[in-house]
Amino acid sequence: MKNIISALFLCASALGFSQGNTHTQTGDKFEGLAMTPPMGWNSWNTFATNIDEKLVKETADIMVSSGLAAVGYNYIVLDDGWMTKERDANGDLVPDPVKFPNGMKAVVDYVHSKGLKFGLYNCAGTQTCAGYPGTRGYEYQDARFYAKLEIDFLKYDWCNTKGITAPEAYTTMSNALKTAGRPIVFSLCEWGDNQPWEWGKSVGNLWRISGDIYPCFDCEFKHPENWSSWGFMKIAEMRKDIRKYSGPDHWNDFDMMEVGNEMNDTEDKSHFAMWCMLSSPLFTGNDYRKMSKETLAILTNKELITINQDKLGIQGFKYAVEDGVEVWVKPLSGGNWAVTFLNRTDAAKKINFDWKKNTVKDADFGYEADFAKSTFKLKNLWTNKEAGNTKKNFTAELASHDCITLKLSLLNKE
């Protein structure tokens, strides 16, 4: 019976997309679930499939006790490896009874009891990337399963998808989640290969724009299986001209963060600043149980988080480069701006930025800052100290791979 049902689902999916360009198909997502970039923790970067109930509970406890939850991190998402290698006799997914001896609902309830939200992972293909049961042909059944568990977030990957198209597969799952009736944030993880920014707005709440991240500043890590992971600056500049597609409830997702993993504190700081400037979802990927005070301080920088969570929801962009120092800008609500100076080089650099000689124009969203005509107050968001205003040049020295992020608050306009 389950095979017949699965075949019917496959036929229904295929028939629903048999006419026209699939890129014109629209989903039926739950609206308004991610009006600012979602924030939380994902298990994959550190733990891969080595996850269990104890890890989830300890992570939830620390998320609350450390202050991470208080500044906005509220999703705990279990990535690949949470289920058994086979579905049950009814075709349902089965949480691994060794990893989760009390069942997944007990884990979800524990996370909810802490005032947090819970997410799971699956894949659009026949198997997940790690070889567990995928959702292809079981979309509506799996959506009902997630709704019954009362999860809040679904990360949906793109492995083992031969013969299907991304717009079709993700739209089918989006509609299945809506039909199941529980509001669940839908995270599209197809690595940007099928331009999800062009069709994903009605389908999901966020979409990955690249392959997997790697804990380095600007490297490419080549895997033996002939694919690559990328340093965070590689990802930051990987896609051109897609910022116009990102905004409240439909975010460009630059992948889970590597802050607290294998980079140094300076690089972690720049990584976090860039994800805030880019309005990327902020999902930590480190082991909270081994987290240093420096890592915690970076992740809980309220001023930077405010930049990420600004209600305009506009992704920043690179404005200029001078002697290896990049200037990234981001329009903010209230006529304000965020500006990050980032040293891409391996040597220390001096900054001497003459505001009055610069006019920043946002071609995608129409914002402009003419510093010859408007004066802004400066605040260094890493030191939490005032830093003068735009009437005078901004001067500083930046170590290799370091950054300074300023908030520019409008004082007057001619």
**Gap between the Cα atoms of 179 and 143, Å rounded:** 8
State CA 115 to chain mean position distance.
21
Structure token pair of residue 351: 């900054």
Q: Is 80 a catalytic residue?
A: no
Residues 62/40, Cβ–Cβ less than 8 Å: no
The catalytic residue among 52, 157, 249, 253 is 157
Q: H or E segment at 371?
A: none
DSSP state of 263: S
**Gap between the Cα atoms of 40 and 249, Å rounded:** 16
Burial 17-30 (b: 16+ CB within 10 A, else e): beeeebeebebebb
Q: Is 157 a catalytic residue?
A: yes
**Gap between the Cα atoms of 328 and 392, Å rounded:** 19
The catalytic residue among 152, 212, 255, 287 is 212
Residues 256/45, Cβ–Cβ less than 8 Å: yes
**Gap between the Cα atoms of 102 and 100, Å rounded:** 6
**Gap between the Cα atoms of 212 and 298, Å rounded:** 22
> CA torsion sign, 11 to 128 to 185 to 117?
positive
Q: H or E segment at 379?
A: strand 374-380
- Helices 139-149/2-16 angle, 10° precision: 110
Q: Which of 178, 42, 168, 64 is nearest to 114 (CA)?
A: 64
Q: 221: left (phi > 0), else alpha (psi -120 to 50), else beta?
A: beta
**Gap between the Cα atoms of 115 and 159, Å rounded:** 33
Residues 176/184, Cβ–Cβ less than 8 Å: no
Q: Which of 275, 254, 284, 250 is nearest to 76 (CA)?
A: 284
Q: Rounded to the nearest 5 degrees, what angle is found at the Cα of 92, between the Cα atoms of 206 and 177?
A: 30
**Gap between the Cα atoms of 181 and 147, Å rounded:** 7
Q: Which of 60, 72, 172 is nearest to 118 (CA)?
A: 60
Active site residues: 157, 212
